[in-house]
Amino acid sequence: MAAKHPKFAMKATSVHATSSDARRRGGSASQTATRVLILLDELGSAVPAACDVEDAVAVVSSLIRLQKLDFWLRNPDYLADELLSEFESGRVTLDQIKPHVVRMLEGDAPQLHTYPMERYIYGAYEFIDDALAVLKLYGQIEHRRAADSGPMSRRDYFLLQKGRDTVAAIRKEIPELDWYVEQASAIGLIADAAQGASAKRRQYLQTEYASTAHGDVIPSILDRVRERAVGLKVLED
């Protein structure tokens, strides 16, 4: 095995999880770790000049935001619906969203790339501590409590240069990962995706999401979104 990136990435998302239990867990810990790296790399904010995290190149503020971004990354039907809303509002153009919506809704992409999440008190949730621990162990990320101290204070997640190098390396070895890079790019088109609280409110506007009982899997909205996309002439009938 080449030494240029850690073991977890070699197993990443090149193989799709097949069992429903695996999908409900977001795939293996290595798959979750790879998604987290991509989210941090593609959607992380610039690191403040006063940051004391050595070799940090990007940051996502709060675990809530990371969870909400992961929900969109692994649920293409919900993400496509958000892009349609952005298009209807005039905040993005048809040319900006159409390639993403077509990619997410047509063919077998929804079945291959959907990893459902369960709903808990604060919305879509998954225990990703194992994946974060692996990333920290291999020097890919670091996390810090925000300035407001206390047990409930926010944690910020920093991508380190080593993690960015890993993303670049595994994208060359595993072309299938480009799907998730494109998903992250699509999330970047959503106006208020930058804040975890805003993303959470937006996801709760989906009736199916909001009405899911705690502990149950948030259901697919694929058929409804396809119908909407056809109505908006983003997809062909």
Contact present, 44 and 159 (Cβ < 8 Å): yes
In the sheet that 141-145 helps form, which strands lie side by side, from edge to edge? Answer: 56-61, 155-160, 141-145
What distance in Å separates the CA atoms of residue 173 and residue 25, rounded to the nearest whole number? 25
Domain ranges in the chain are 8-231
**Which residue would you say has higher pLDDT here, 55 or 151?**
55
pLDDT band at residue 150 using 50, 70 and 90 as cut-offs: low
Tell me what the pLDDT averaged over the chain comes to. 86
Could you report the per-residue pLDDT of 170-216, keeping only the tens digit for each?
Answer: 999 999 999 999 999 999 999 888 776 788 888 888 999 989 998 89
Of 212, 26, 22, 197, nearest to 128 by C-alpha is 26
Binned at pLDDT 50, 70 and 90, residue 57 comes out as: very high
Kindly report, residue by residue over 62-109, the tens digit of the pLDDT: 888 898 999 999 999 999 999 999 999 999 999 999 999 999 999 888
